[in-house]
Chains A and B, each alone.
Chain A
Amino acid sequence: MSENTSQNANFVVEHLRAWNGRAVAEVIEFRGETTIVVPRELLRETAARCREDQELQYNLLTDATCVDRYPMEPRFEVNYHLVSIPRRDRLRLKTKLSGSDPVVDTLAPVWPGAGWLEREIFDLFGIQFTGHPDLRRILLPDDWEGHPLRRDYPTQGFRDVPSTYIPAFRKPTV
């Protein structure tokens, strides 16, 4: 099983490398899952290639999410989970973004389903998706300050709470 997965991963990686040598910056294999780290400027092209290519056929975007590795830099990792239904295969595309410039191209033109997933990431992490058709907050109110899923945002929020229960948090100046 694991041998098959890694062979398959090799096939996908080689295929993408043959198409564009710069598209695959790094390959991570962990617990039978393949992650391809893609440079930010090539993300949309690579995703489109994954979808359109007759041998890859990643036709379904199931999930998009973000991980904040604060205080490491680049702190944000945006992950897209692709599924190829005909080939029964999963792939994760990852792109790394710095905290000072969290901007990446949207994948909504490739998969319309990315629309709400990216809105959620924008809402909770504050990642900007260039070219997104409707980039508004989705879960939180419009006037919410900050992006709660960032690691420097306290779980209890910034509200004043009795200091006997929770240590006081100071709102960061940035």
Chain B
Amino acid sequence: MTTVETPIGTAKTMVLNMGPQHPSTHGVLRIALELDGETVVKAVPDLGYLHTGIEKSCEDKTYSQAITLTDRMDYLNPLGNNLVYCLAVEKLLGLEVPKRAQYVRVMLVELQRISSHLVWLGTHAIDLGAMSVFLYCFREREEILKIFELFAGQRMMTSYFRIGGLALEPPAGWRAAIDKFLKMMPSRVDDYETLLTKNRIWMGRTQGIGYISTEDAVALSMTGPTLRASGLAYDNRKLFPYSSYEEFEFDVPTRTDSDCFGRYMVRVAEMRESLKIVRQAFDKIADQGPIRSEAPGIVPPAREKMKTEMEALIYHFKIFTEGFAPPPGEAFVAVESPRGELGCFVASDGSAKPLRVHFRSPSFINLQALPKLTEGQLISDVVACIGTIDIVLGEVDR
């Protein structure tokens, strides 16, 4: 959060302050816009209103305690944040996670992607004046949140993934819940497309708006649907598979129109691909099997073991009081979050608390392209551009 060097209005231009309480900024983003009539000459984003120092707080926690903090960054993708942090610490430890836990992780993260895209679609449509889509999107998102509640006991701040596996055994009745969702969802995605894709107003508000070329997008480090809509199929699930993604069959949707409409189409197509992955994971997950790796001193022992074995009780006590110490070193893991490449960098100095935890948050870096997208466009299109970058301010500011 800095005082933006507000461009000084000349006789021709005026400066308009947008945000931080503007509804279309999806949080607290402030933009100083220099306008010539209705055309944006210069846009200067101003961040930091939601800065909570999560990276600093992580340094003061043990490795497993920090998981709850990661939930609170990108609050539309808490499971994805859990996943990237757990993967980074597991890489640091050299820990293998059982296949069953990996598949459950994939399934839930893909459901999370759908729910995040639903929030994006609903709010973006409302920004551009299509009220009803919002209601439909949130109706379906509710179903996904119910599934999360079933698994983790929480709708949003799940903290369901733990270092070495999962927090809990998948609950009774999870198959029925997911099966019901998978049967319902495909036709609902068609419904959104019926409402929007060929809608003249929607096309007018999105086509040709917020153009960014592939070269510019890569140079500005953009990732995720924004980059894929510019024609480059960069997806961590395909390029650098993690959590057994290499065993799943899915396509990476790309578009070449590089505008707001292209980004919309990519996200809608991604929802369909995610449904495919959820279905495959659903079939792959065995009914029985371990959900946590066997790593005494790192992964908490099962409850039953603690009641019968002395060792297990001691490990349990030690893990939750002093934590565990990974070997000194650094690890960087990147996953594909709904917004792009979500990376986690963990540095260990051999003690029980991380030396440094850094999150490469896709919203923060994609937002950097906002001036590039908006300059020269009309002021009403700024709203469309912010919307299609799909920022979550909790993650931008961390």
Contact = CB atoms under 8 A, between A and B. Distances in A.
Are A and B a genuine interacting pair, yes or no? yes
Interface of A: 30-31, 33, 35, 59-63, 65-69, 79, 81, 85, 88, 90, 92, 111-117, 120, 124, 136-142, 148-149, 151, 155
A65 B358 contact: yes
B59 interface: yes
Interface stretch (B119-127, B154-162, B293-301, B340-348): B340-348
A74 B347 CA distance: 16
Contact of B48 (A79, A111, A117, A139): A139
A62 B57 CA distance: 23
B327 to A, nearest CB: 9
Contacts of B222: 113
B57 A155 contact: yes
Contacts of A69: 349, 355
Interface string B325-356: 00001111010000001010101010000011
30 contacts: A30-B331, A31-B94, A33-B332, A35-B330, A62-B343, A62-B360, A63-B345, A63-B358, A67-B347, A67-B356, A68-B356, A79-B345, A85-B232, A88-B240, A115-B368, A116-B364, A116-B365, A116-B368, A117-B221, A117-B365, A124-B55, A137-B1, A137-B2, A138-B48, A139-B47, A139-B51, A139-B398, A140-B48, A142-B3, A155-B56
A120 B396 CA distance: 11
B2 A81 contact: no
A140 B1 contact: yes
Max chain A C-beta neighbours (<10 A), residue from B3, B332, B355? B332
Contacts of B332: 33, 63, 81, 90, 92
Max chain A C-beta neighbours (<10 A), residue from B1, B221, B222, B360? B221
B295 to A, nearest CB: 16
Sorted nearest first, the 7 A-B pairs with minimum C-beta distance are A113-B221, A63-B360, A139-B48, A65-B358, A30-B329, A139-B51, A155-B60
A140 B46 CA distance: 10
A77 to B, nearest CB: 8
Max chain A C-beta neighbours (<10 A), residue from B47, B234, B329, B356? B356
A88 B356 contact: no
A30 B93 CA distance: 11
A62 B3 contact: no
B360 A81 contact: yes
Contact of A141 (B1, B232, B398): B1
Contact of A148 (B56, B60, B94): B56
A162 to B, nearest CB: 18
Given A30-B329, A62-B360, A155-B59, 10 more contacts: A33-B331, A62-B341, A63-B345, A63-B358, A66-B356, A69-B349, A79-B345, A137-B1, A151-B59, A155-B53
Max chain B C-beta neighbours (<10 A), residue from A90, A138, A149? A138
Interface string B219-258: 1111100000000101000011000000000000000000
Q: How many residues of B sit at the interface, in one of the four size bands?
A: 35 or more
A142 B329 CA distance: 34
Interface in B29-60: 47-48, 51, 53, 55-57, 59-60
Interface in B126-179: none
Interface of B: 1-3, 5, 47-48, 51, 53, 55-57, 59-60, 91-92, 94, 218-223, 232, 234, 239-240, 329-332, 334, 341, 343, 345, 347, 349, 355-356, 358, 360, 364-365, 367-368, 397-398
Max chain A C-beta neighbours (<10 A), residue from B60, B334, B358, B398? B358
Nearest to A51: B219
A90 B236 CA distance: 12
Contact of A138 (B2, B91, B223, B330): B2
B373 to A, nearest CB: 14
Nearest to B55: A149
Contacts of B358: 63, 65
A124 B53 CA distance: 10
Nearest to A72: B349
B54 to A, nearest CB: 11
A5 to B, nearest CB: 11
A120 B358 CA distance: 11
A141 B47 CA distance: 10
A114 B360 CA distance: 12
A142 B221 contact: no
Nearest to A92: B332
Contacts of B355: 67, 69
A62 B223 contact: yes
Nearest to A115: B368
Nearest to B216: A112
A30 B348 CA distance: 12
A61 to B, nearest CB: 5
B343 A111 contact: no
A31 B95 CA distance: 11
A135 to B, nearest CB: 11
